[in-house]
Amino acid sequence: MSEKDPAARTVSAEAQSHGLLDITSLVLLAILLAAGFILNITVGNALAMTGIKPQFIIAAYALAILLTNASFAQAALYGLISAALIQLSTSIPGLNFLTEVAGALTMAALMRLDLTFAGKRFTPLVAAFVATLVSGSLFAAVGTVAMGAELATAVVKIPVVLGTAAFNAVVVQALFVPLAKVLRH
């Protein structure tokens, strides 16, 4: 091959999906989950003293679902991958495989809504709030029973779950538009 032949030095690859996820979606999820994990073990633990325990991993997969317009199968896979990562820091190993799949499927269902107010789209806010509420409520209820306590005692966890859901909703709403703009370029 001649050194002046540009084709000899050009490599091209097309991103194609032959399964549930393409490489771009996986890379996006990996980046968001890495950021979410680091924020969980730093900022999340620091804010836990206030009674709000942000779950940046949930915010990460919620953003990934929104940004990739994930199908239900893809969302479930995002939830499973997220749950696997959460196993490094969870208080009840294994439970997140249930809770994060449920949260991710909730996110996938609600992202299809077109919730606007005063010309602004609030679907990310509402969907992330409800997805976190589903995940957190399941974790609180099933975790309480799994630890041998009465289900009724899970009620004391409601303020933490609501606070976490509100925090995650704001994070997802604030990051969705700028991330969507970056990904379109």
CA–CA distance, 176 with 38 (Å, rounded to integer): 19
* Percent above pLDDT 90 for the chain: 74
CA–CA distance, 116 with 71 (Å, rounded to integer): 22
Of the candidate ranges 40-44, 121-125, 140-144, the one whose mean pLDDT is the lowest: 40-44
Q: Which two tokens stand for residue 185?
A: 């370029």
Residue 91 located in a structural domain: yes
The 10s digit of each residue's pLDDT in 27-71 is 999 999 999 999 998 998 888 777 677 899 999 999 999 999 999
Residue 4 located in a structural domain: no
CA–CA distance, 42 with 5 (Å, rounded to integer): 51
CA dihedral 132→66→77→89, nearest 10 degrees, is: -40
Residue 167 located in a structural domain: yes
DSSP E strand stretches across 47-118: 116-117
Q: Tokens 């325990």 correspond to what residue?
A: 53
* Percent above pLDDT 70 for the chain: 89
Residue 124 located in a structural domain: yes
More confident residue, 103 or 51: 103
CA–CA distance, 104 with 100 (Å, rounded to integer): 6
pLDDT band, residue 95 (cuts 50/70/90)? very high
Residue 161 located in a structural domain: yes
What total of structural domains would you count in the chain? Answer: 1
Residue 12 located in a structural domain: no
CA–CA distance, 100 with 84 (Å, rounded to integer): 10
Phi and psi, residue 22, nearest 5°: -95, 170
DSSP E strand stretches across the chain: 116-117, 120-121
- Indicate the angle between helix axes 56-68 and 72-86, nearest 10 degrees: 160
- Could you say which DSSP state residue 6 is in? G
Q: Which two tokens stand for residue 55?
A: 């779950």
Residue 165 located in a structural domain: yes
Buried b / exposed e along 126-163 (16+ C-beta atoms within 10 A): bbbbbbbbbbbbbbbbbbbeeeeeeeeebeebeeebbb
Domain that holds residue 58: 22-184
Residue 14 located in a structural domain: no
